[in-house]
Amino acid sequence: MRGAAHGFPVVLSDLSLEYPSHGPSPAHVALHGLTLTIHPGEVLGLLGSAGSGKSTLAKVLSGVAFDPQSAEVRPVITGGEATVLGHRLRSLPRRKVPQLRFHVGYLPQDAAATLPRDRTVSEIVAEPILERDRRYNRKALQTRVATMIDAVRLPLGMLDKFPYELSGGQRQRVALAQALVLGPSLLIADEPTAGIDLTVRDAVAQLISELRDREHHSFSALIISHDLPVLRRTADRIAVLDKGELAALGTIDEVFDDPTHPYVMALAGALDAGHAVIDELEDGPTA
């Protein structure tokens, strides 16, 4: 995989994000004054209350929020700065967006459910490569796609199947293979294990851990998840967001052993009650 840019893969300095007013919808502040850093080779876990800005942050850091083809209302940086792999996002020229996205693998929320139904697994995984080079050597492309499918623990017989022929867990692994096929320096995965069974969750967590261990300081990741076993296995530290602000930052044990923020206390209580997956607090009193 390609090495990260000099310095830290991600640096957020007093970052504020806002969705501008759109039709009858007023402007909405998604994140306010967020400061944190992802170190070279680090996997940072991110969890938080509903509407805390987790997915918005993922879209911004991955460069997806800067896609001019998107029909969605896009968040804008209204304060502070976000630097990803050396790119300052607040002043990022449109022509630099593809360069950023080339080095950032992005697994969006519900990725498994949004795979194109009319393309085979092979075509889906190959798409990021062909978007950049339609003349890419076909034999090399087949080898690269097959290697990725094997890496996410899918049989090569899946290559010619369509998404509707696969289980939800299999589709999720296809989406992960697509996010990783370009060999990104940074992976941003939004709920990569949501809605899939325990065996597949374990395989996804193992793959992320292996990537980090194999690539040392050239691969970092932001994993948005409420699955504590997955975060324990993959994340060096976790950050907790509540209502668009940073509520806690540290190792899992540091965050939950002595919580002071009300939302973090609620999460710690869920853990004490034996909940491993704590998204049931998404609609809790502080969400």
Q: Is residue 152 very low, low, confident or very high in pLDDT (cuts 50, 70, 90)? A: confident
How far does Cα 84 stand from its chain's mean position?
13
Pairing of the two strands 10-19 and 76-84: antiparallel
Of 8-17, 18-27, 161-170, 178-187, the range with the lowest mean pLDDT is 18-27
Kindly report the CATH number assigned to the domain that includes residue 28. 3.40.50.300
Residue % of the chain over a pLDDT of 70: 91
Final residue of a structural domain among 153, 181, 209: 181
Domain limits for position 65: 10-103+185-283
Is the separation of the CB atoms in 230 and 204 below 8 Å? yes
- What residues contact 123, with CB distance under 8 A and at least 6 apart? none
In a domain, 108, yes or no: no
31 and 75 belong to one structural domain: yes
Whole-Å CA distances, 192 to 16, 169, 202, 205: 25, 10, 11, 9
User: Predicted confidence band at 196 (pLDDT cuts at 50, 70, 90)?
Assistant: confident
The SS3 of residue 248 is strand
Residues 45 and 150 in one domain: no
pLDDT at 281: 52
Q: Which residues contact 103 (CB under 8 A, 6 or more apart)?
A: 2, 4, 85, 182, 184, 185, 186
Domain end: 181, 211, 235, which one?
181
- pLDDT (tens digit per residue) in 214-228: 766 688 999 999 888
3-class SS of residue 180: helix
**pLDDT-based confidence at 286, cuts 50/70/90?**
very low
Are residues 55 and 85 both part of a single domain? yes
End-to-end CA distance of the chain: 38
CA count, 13 A, side-chain hemisphere, 143:
5
Together in a domain, 173 and 216? no
From 69, 73, 57, 88, select the one nearest 240 (Cα to Cα): 57
Same domain, 219 and 256: yes
pLDDT computed for residue 24 by the predictor = 83
In single-letter form, the type of residue at position 29 comes to V
